[in-house]
């Protein structure tokens, strides 16, 4: 209980982040690292935006910059379950960080791989844990295949992935995270635990416009400067490829949702990831289905969400 408040304070939510940093993953890590609402147990990495070794180094660097070098990082799957690997270094840059240079990490990755750690941790959890997945879902899908009983240790999963009305950002039909490992996405969607899916329909509404970039730079901290350098690179690429002003802040939406679900609109849906052919990675979303297996977000209060993101980064 906060001294003198008379209001009970809820315990921090145990949180595991599974990611592929990546510019927007780093922004999500900054937000999570600055949020006392979370007990950030670990960060797991997976091949996605760049190769897993680079993702792991980036996660370690982002946590060091955020003053959270205490958080362990577990390196995960190097390849998808069944398809050939694809990467997004054409967007994020060869380093995955755009123009940013992160400080040397305070520690290395843990000797245990991410899948083994997830299995052991979810099997032995005293209370079910929350998983935030902002990259391909390969790590959790592999763990579920090897140890189906771990679902008892999962309270909820919040995923950045998929697209419905917005089509796709890697093909006309598919969002990158689902396209990169559609079989993993489908395994996670079918796992039977509460899942919220935040796709392009929502994330493209939260853009790092020039005015918002100015506000990020004005914070003046090393984390804010690194975030600005990352987003400036991606903004330039977005302008060239998509003709858009301001890159979307996809992955921070997961952390923002966990902090403030009231900033989002959402509805139950039946969601499946298509795994074959031209439609590989497409998200089949049937809203209001009586067989709903997830919650699908459809919108975000972008101004309030960006305010919250900046408020958290300013704490670092």
Residues annotated catalytic, as ranges: 250
Nearest CA to 248 among 204, 309, 199, 297?
Answer: 204
Nearest to 244 by CA among 209, 199, 213: 209
Phi, psi of 12, deg, nearest 5: -55, 145
Taking alpha carbons only, the member of 181, 198, 155, 157 closest to residue 24 is 198
Strand order in the sheet with 154-160: 73-75, 38-45, 13-19, 129-133, 154-160, 195-198, 294-300, 264-273, 283-287
Using alpha carbons, select from 227, 266, 241, 245 the residue that is nearest to residue 102. Answer: 227
Strands (DSSP E) found in the chain: 13-19, 38-45, 73-75, 129-133, 154-160, 195-198, 264-273, 283-287, 294-300
For the chain, how are helix, strand and coil distributed in percent, rounded to 5?
40, 20, 40
Residue with tokens 């008892």: 152
- ∠ at Cα 306 (303, 312), nearest 5°? 145
H/E run at residue 139: helix 138-146
Q: What angle do CA 116, 120, 121 make, to 5 degrees?
A: 115
What single DSSP character describes residue 11?
P
Q: Which pair of structure tokens corresponds to residue 7?
A: 């209001």
Looking up tokens 């390849």 gives 79
């Amino acid at each position: 209980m906060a001294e003198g408040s008379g209001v009970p304070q809820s315990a921090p939510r145990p949180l595991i982040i599974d990611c592929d940093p990546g510019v927007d993953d780093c922004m999500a890590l900054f937000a999570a690292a600055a949020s006392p609402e979370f007990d950030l147990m670990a960060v797991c990495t997976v091949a996605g935006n760049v190769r897993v070794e680079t993702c792991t180094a980036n996660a370690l660097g982002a946590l060091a910059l955020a003053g959270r070098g205490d958080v362990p990082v577990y390196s995960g799957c190097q390849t998808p379950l069944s398809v050939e690997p694809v990467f997004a270094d054409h967007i994020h840059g060869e380093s995955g960080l755009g123009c940013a240079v992160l400080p040397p990490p305070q520690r290395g990755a843990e000797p245990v791989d991410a899948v083994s750690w997830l299995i052991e941790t979810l099997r032995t959890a005293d209370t079910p844990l929350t998983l935030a997945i902002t990259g391909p879902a390969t790590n959790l899908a592999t763990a579920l295949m090897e140890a189906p009983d771990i679902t008892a240790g999962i309270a909820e999963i919040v995923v950045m992935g998929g697209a419905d009305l917005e089509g796709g950002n890697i093909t006309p039909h598919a969002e990158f995270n689902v396209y990169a490992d559609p079989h993993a996405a489908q395994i996670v969607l079918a796992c039977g635990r509460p899942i919220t899916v935040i796709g392009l329909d929502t994330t493209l509404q939260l853009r790092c416009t020039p005015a918002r970039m100015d506000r990020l730079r004005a914070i003046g901290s090393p984390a804010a400067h690194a975030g600005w350098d990352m987003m400036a690179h991606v903004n330039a690429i977005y302008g060239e490829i998509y003709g858009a002003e301001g890159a979307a802040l996809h992955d921070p939406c997961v952390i923002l949702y966990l902090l403030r679900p009231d900033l989002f609109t959402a509805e139950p849906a039946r969601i499946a990831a298509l795994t074959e052919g031209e439609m590989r990675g497409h998200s089949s979303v049937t809203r209001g289905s009586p067989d709903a297996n997830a919650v699908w977000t459809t919108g975000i209060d972008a101004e309030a969400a960006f305010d919250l993101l900046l408020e958290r980064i300013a704490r670092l």
